[in-house]
C-alpha cells in the first residue's frame, strides 16, 4: 500500500477530530492546544502535496508563533475568568448563521467555477517559474509591503493591550465595569441599585 495514502488516513481523522473537539471544548487552554494539533496535521497535508515551504510556514508560524501568542494572552487574561451570559447584540447569532451560509456558498461556487471537482484545475492557471518562495517574497515585500507592516503593528498593539488588561486585573481594577456589574446582578438576582436622588433645597 502507498505510504502517502496510509499517512493521509492516519492524519485525516486526527485533523477532523481535533477540530470538532476544539469547537466543543469549554476550556480556552485545551481549545488552543487542540488547534495546535490541527495546525500540525494541516502542515503534514502540505508536505504530502509537495509543498515544503507551506509545511514549514504552517509549523513555525501558525502552530508555533501564533498559537504561543494565543496561549500567552489566555494565560494573562486568566483561564478561570467568568463572562456574562447576557448577549449585548440580540441579532448576533442569526447574522452569524447567515454569514456562515454565505461563506459556504461562496466557497462552493469558487471551487465549482474556478477549479472544479474533477481535479483538472483551472485552464488559466500557470505555475510561477521562480518557485513559490520567490514568488511569495516578491508579492509580500514589494506589492503588499505596507499592509504586511500594518498587520505586524496591529499584532504588537494587541499583545500590549493584553498585557495592560492583565495588569489591571492583577491590581484589582475591573477591565470591564459593565461585565462585572452584570455578573454581580446574575449572582445576586437583585435589581440594579439606582443612585439616590437629592431633594432640592427649599427656599424660605
Residue-wise pLDDT for 119-173, tens only, equals 554 444 444 555 567 777 777 788 888 888 888 888 788 778 877 776 766 565 5
Whether residue 78 has pLDDT greater than 70: no
Q: What is the pLDDT of residue 181?
A: 63
Whether residue 118 has pLDDT greater than 90: no
Q: What is the mean pLDDT of the chain?
A: 75
C-alpha distances in angstroms, 202 versus 139, 199?
76, 9
Residue with cell 456558498: 105
- Please give the residue that has the higher pLDDT: either 85 or 24: 24
CATH number assigned to the domain covering 1-81: 1.20.120.1200
User: 6 in helix, strand or coil?
Assistant: helix
Beta carbons of 32 and 74 less than 8 angstroms apart: yes
**Lowest-pLDDT range, 7-21, 41-55, 116-130?**
116-130
pTM of structure: 0.52
Residues 6+ apart with CB under 8 A from 67: 32, 35, 36, 39
**What residues does each domain of the chain span?**
1-81, 135-186
Rounded CA separation 23/34 (Å) = 9
Q: What is the pLDDT of residue 47?
A: 87
Cell numbers describing residue 192: 440594579
Beta carbons of 29 and 56 less than 8 angstroms apart: no
- Please give the residue that has the higher pLDDT: either 46 or 155: 46
- Please give the residue that has the higher pLDDT: either 80 or 192: 80
Share of the chain above pLDDT 90, in %: 10
Whether residue 93 has pLDDT greater than 90: no
Beta carbons of 55 and 46 less than 8 angstroms apart: yes
Amino acid at each position: 500500500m502507498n505510504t502517502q495514502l496510509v499517512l493521509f488516513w492516519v492524519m485525516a481523522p486526527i485533523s477532523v477530530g481535533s477540530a470538532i473537539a476544539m469547537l466543543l471544548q469549554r476550556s480556552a487552554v485545551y481549545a488552543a492546544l487542540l488547534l495546535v494539533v490541527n495546525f500540525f496535521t494541516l502542515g503534514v497535508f502540505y508536505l504530502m502535496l509537495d509543498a515544503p515551504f507551506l509545511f514549514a510556514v504552517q509549523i513555525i508560524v501558525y502552530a508555533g508563533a501564533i498559537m504561543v501568542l494565543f496561549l500567552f494572552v489566555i494565560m494573562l487574561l486568566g483561564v478561570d475568568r467568568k463572562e456574562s451570559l447576557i448577549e449585548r447584540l440580540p441579532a448576533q447569532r442569526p447574522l452569524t448563521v447567515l454569514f456562515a451560509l454565505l461563506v459556504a456558498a461562496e466557497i462552493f461556487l469558487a471551487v465549482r467555477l474556478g477549479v472544479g471537482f474533477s481535479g483538472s484545475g483551472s485552464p488559466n492557471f500557470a505555475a510561477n517559474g521562480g518557485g513559490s518562495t520567490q514568488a511569495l517574497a516578491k508579492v509580500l515585500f514589494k506589492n503588499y509591503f505596507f499592509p504586511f507592516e500594518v498587520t505586524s503593528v496591529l499584532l504588537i498593539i494587541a499583545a500590549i493591550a493584553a498585557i495592560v488588561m492583565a495588569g489591571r486585573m492583577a491590581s484589582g481594577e475591573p477591565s470591564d465595569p459593565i461585565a462585572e456589574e452584570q455578573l454581580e446582578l446574575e449572582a445576586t438576582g437583585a435589581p440594579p441599585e439606582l443612585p439616590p436622588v437629592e431633594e432640592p433645597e427649599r427656599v424660605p
